[in-house]
């Protein structure tokens, strides 16, 4: 029997995992260590060497794409089809199981699966049936409650309201929603796993059938399993000791959506006879990148432990840049990208900018557009295409032109005002008959008192809001935008949604105010009155939301959140915004478990880099609509100093627009002068700019690297000669 094609491509640790005898195996696969290869070759080994029939193998992946690729690679190695093998996602496999056992599951033969949008619409109908106001009981919040309960394996009958009126109402919504699903023969994603688990738990004959069938159960990305998924696996395996689990507790970053890192951390306690294999040889990153990443993740106390290494040499040092502000940071990053493209020969899509929150992408997009460098926002919408930004822009468009029907349609019931479809249909019919705009039709209906009292009250409040803002539209654009957010309560609306994007959406709205302010500052000398400036900004926003982004397959710089970067790799990575309260995020600072997940997220971001890793932070940043002076992230302090090199930006590209460059600062400090700082020690003055309260200097400190300091607060003194 020729097994060379199976084992020859493997290193010793991979070979140990692939050729292991029967028994539970936990393969701790570090970033870039070849975990997919191990899974593929393990299945090939089971079929060819151990003569396991394909139908006796169950392989769980986390995406359908990964399942297809795994099956194709197995068939390529074996040079034969593997029909009968169950390979797919948890939800896909649960669906396959329920299709075969619909009667035992109490489902109709042709049950329908609800996707997320379908589920959301059914939740809304449920709220209407219970006569609940969506403003008080947001559908997204109710949907999140239902899904969380199902992920934990809980039915309404298992829940106790604990004397909490809010929880009592949520349980009632869950109960009514589930009744609607039962009446319609509908199954949402959470129900797939929960119903399959219940059949396996309660139907001994069915459970025994599958425990005997699946002699080998393999699971990818085990660190991302939730409670019901782990319980499902335990029922399928029974006491057969046939689990082969591949995962990395250091890359568990989805706790906010139900993943439990405890599953992988406690697996050896649940299964005492488990053998652990560590895959620590990394085939992606240079030695210096791994040294810094290893040092960072070592600060998590509850990890299982491993240390990545490579045979490919140390490579370039990890480079750290301290920017004066977020614009300085963006200009530095884009200038370095330009250098890597033009000088080093990298493609644009080999450069990635990773950030903690979606709002951070806006400034990088702006500078990339100015530099005429194509880009792509991976796994998300560009800034001006995001729903919350388009909602806010709709109000600005109505202030500029109340006859804008598209803006009226978007804004009139966002946030919900109690204007029902009948009222809106009436306005549309009136506008169509009179050949006028929805705005004029609304005013006409109010003047003629043609609407029901409740609808009239809601519509009158909306019209008054727009008119008040129009009456004060001669004020600065940033003030107009900020006042509109307060008057409309769009931030509160999105926070009440309680979905996993609510906080991000609020930060994006705050970032919009900063964007408007920057636009006004840059164009105030070129534009006329405030109305012209507002129209100009709206045109700018419309054009930026156009074709500047690269096509998915085009050669464009990659922009993405750190969560979106999981599973990807790039030759050059810029990990930006490494500041306290931004990364780690402010919501994690008081929760040790959340802080550990933030550190894992940073580790994931760093280990996306193949050849070059940049770490940047700003000493001044507009955050949540305010100017802040953040501390550098604790993650930077947790990294070793030897493989990290502090770098200076190119003055032409990475400097903020200067008010004055001079040979001497306001307090008499000169370029080239040695100074002393109470925290950073001794350094040399490299540059100075600004006057008065905004005067600042750039100092290269021997130990702390290059920093921009505001003179009013820096407490610099001439160094002793």
Please tell me the number of Cα atoms within 13 Å of 291 on its side-chain side. 16
Please identify every residue annotated as catalytic: 35-36, 220-221, 251, 608
Query: Does 23 carry a binding-site annotation?
Result: no
Query: Does 662 carry a binding-site annotation?
Result: no
Q: How far apart are CA 549 and CA 719, in angstroms?
A: 50
Determine the distance from the C-alpha atom of residue 369 to the mean position of all C-alpha atoms in its chain, rounded to a whole number.
23
Q: How far apart are CA 330 and CA 309, in angstroms?
A: 32
- Of 87, 12, 16, nearest to 45 by C-alpha is 16
Q: Are 114 and 95 in contact (CB under 8 A)?
A: no
- Kindly state the tokens that stand for 383: 């800034």
Query: Does 649 carry a binding-site annotation?
Result: no
Query: Does 431 carry a binding-site annotation?
Result: no
Positive or negative CA dihedral for 413, 418, 421, 424? negative
- Kindly state the tokens that stand for 353: 């900018």
- Of 643, 646, 642, nearest to 632 by C-alpha is 646
Q: How far apart are CA 643 and CA 633, in angstroms?
A: 18
CA 463 to each of CA 27, 477, 575: distance values in angstroms, whole numbers, following the listed order: 62, 20, 45
Q: Which residues partner with 622 through β-bridges?
A: 627
CA 661 to each of CA 330, 656, 664, 691, 711: distance values in angstroms, whole numbers, following the listed order: 21, 11, 9, 10, 15
84 conformational bin, left if phi > 0, alpha if psi -120 to 50, beta if neither = left
Query: Does 33 carry a binding-site annotation?
Result: yes
Q: Are 322 and 621 in contact (CB under 8 A)?
A: no
- Of 685, 712, 717, nearest to 700 by C-alpha is 685
DSSP labels, 126-144: HHHHTT--TTTS-HHHHHH
DSSP labels, 453-521: HHHHHHHHHHHHHHHHHHHTTTS-HHHHHHHHHHHHTHHHHHHHT-STTHHHHHHHHHHHHHHHHHHHH
Please tell me the number of Cα atoms within 13 Å of 167 on its side-chain side. 9
- Kindly state the tokens that stand for 484: 């509109």
R_g over Cα of the chain:
29
Scanning 61-188, the segments in alpha helix (DSSP H) are 64-78, 90-100, 116-129, 139-151, 165-184
Query: Does 32 carry a binding-site annotation?
Result: yes
Q: Are 201 and 151 in contact (CB under 8 A)?
A: no
- Beta-carbon contacts of 359 under 8 Å, excluding residues fewer than 6 positions away, are 383, 504, 507, 508, 510, 511
Q: Which residues partner with 645 through β-bridges?
A: 319
Query: Does 357 carry a binding-site annotation?
Result: no
- Kindly state the tokens that stand for 375: 């880009």
Query: Does 34 carry a binding-site annotation?
Result: yes
Please tell me the number of Cα atoms within 13 Å of 562 on its side-chain side. 28
Q: Which residues are annotated as a binding site?
A: 29-36
Q: Which residues are annotated as a binding site for ATP?
A: 29-36
């Amino acid at each position: 029997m020729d097994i060379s094609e199976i084992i020859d491509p493997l290193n010793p640790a991979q070979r140990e995992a692939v050729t292991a005898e029967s028994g539970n195996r936990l393969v701790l696969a570090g970033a870039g260590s070849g975990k997919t290869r191990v899974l593929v070759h393990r299945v090939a080994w089971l079929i060819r060497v151990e003569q396991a029939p394909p139908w006796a193998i169950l392989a769980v992946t986390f995406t359908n794409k990964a399942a297809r690729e795994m099956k194709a690679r197995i068939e390529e190695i074996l040079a034969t089809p593997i029909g009968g093998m169950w390979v797919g996602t948890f939800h896909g496999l649960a669906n396959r199981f329920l299709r075969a056992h619909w009667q035992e599951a109490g489902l109709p033969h042709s049950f329908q699966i609800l996707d997320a949008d379908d589920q959301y619409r059914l939740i809304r109908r449920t709220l209407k049936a219970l006569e609940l106001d969506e403003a008080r009981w947001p559908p997204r919040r109710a949907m999140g409650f239902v899904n969380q309960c199902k992920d934990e394996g809980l039915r309404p009958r298992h829940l106790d309201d604990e004397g909490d009126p809010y929880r009592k109402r949520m349980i009632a919504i869950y109960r009514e929603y589930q009744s609607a699903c039962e009446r319609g023969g509908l199954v949402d994603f959470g129900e797939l796993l929960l119903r399959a688990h219940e059949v396996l738990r309660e139907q001994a004959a069915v459970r025994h059938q599958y425990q005997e069938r699946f002699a080998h159960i393999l699971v990818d990305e085990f660190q991302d399993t939730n409670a019901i998924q782990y319980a499902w696996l335990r029922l399928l395996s029974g006491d057969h000791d046939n689990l082969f689990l591949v995962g990395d507790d250091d890359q568990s970053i989805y706790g906010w959506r139900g993943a439990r890192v405890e599953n992988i951390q406690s697996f050896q306690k649940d299964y005492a006879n488990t053998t652990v294999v560590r895959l620590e040889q990394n085939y992606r990153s240079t030695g210096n990148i791994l040294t810094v990443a290893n040092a960072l993740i070592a600060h998590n106390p509850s990890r299982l432990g491993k240390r990545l290494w490579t045979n490919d040499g140390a490579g370039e040092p990890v480079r750290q840049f301290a920017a004066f502000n977020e614009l300085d940071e963006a200009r530095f990053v884009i200038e370095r990208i330009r250098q890597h493209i033009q000088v080093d020969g990298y493609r644009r899509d080999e450069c990635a900018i990773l950030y903690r929150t979606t709002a951070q992408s806006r400034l990088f997009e702006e500078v990339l557009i100015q530099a005429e460098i194509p880009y792509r926002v991976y796994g998300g919408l560009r800034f001006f295409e995001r729903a919350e930004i388009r909602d806010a822009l709709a109000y600005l468009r109505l202030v500029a032109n109340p006859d804008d029907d598209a803006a009226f349609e978007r804004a009139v019931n966002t946030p919900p005002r109690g204007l029902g479809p009948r009222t809106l249909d009436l306005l549309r019919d009136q506008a169509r008959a009179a050949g006028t705009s929805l705005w004029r039709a609304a005013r006409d209906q109010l003047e003629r008192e043609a609407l029901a009292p409740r609808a009239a009250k809601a519509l009158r409040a909306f019209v008054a809001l727009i008119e008040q803002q129009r009456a004060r539209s001669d004020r600065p654009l940033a003030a107009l935008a900020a006042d509109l957010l307060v008057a409309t309560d769009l931030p509160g609306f999105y926070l009440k949604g309680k979905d996993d994007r609510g906080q991000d959406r609020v930060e994006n709205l705050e970032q919009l105010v900063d964007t408007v302010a920057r636009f006004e500052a840059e164009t105030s000398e070129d534009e006329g009155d405030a109305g012209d400036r507002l129209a100009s900004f709206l045109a700018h926003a419309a054009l930026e939301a156009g074709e500047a982004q690269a096509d998915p397959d085009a050669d464009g710089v990659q922009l993405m959140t750190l969560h979106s970067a999981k599973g990807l790799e790039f030759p050059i990575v810029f990990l930006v915004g490494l500041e306290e309260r931004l990364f780690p995020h402010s919501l994690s600072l008081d929760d040790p478990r959340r802080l550990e997940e933030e550190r894992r997220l940073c580790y994931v971001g760093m280990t996306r880099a193949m050849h070059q890793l940049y770490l940047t932070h700003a000493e001044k940043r507009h955050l949540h609509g305010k100017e802040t002076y953040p501390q550098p992230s604790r993650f930077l302090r947790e990294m070793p100093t030897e493989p990290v090199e502090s770098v200076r930006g190119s003055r032409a590209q990475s400097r903020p627009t200067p008010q004055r460059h001079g040979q001497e600062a306001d307090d008499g400090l000169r370029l080239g002068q040695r100074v002393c700082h109470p925290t950073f020690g001794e350094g040399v003055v490299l540059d100075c700019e600004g006057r008065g309260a905004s005067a600042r200097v750039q100092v290269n400190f021997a130990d702390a690297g290059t920093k921009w300091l505001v003179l009013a607060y820096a407490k610099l003194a001439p160094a002793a000669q």
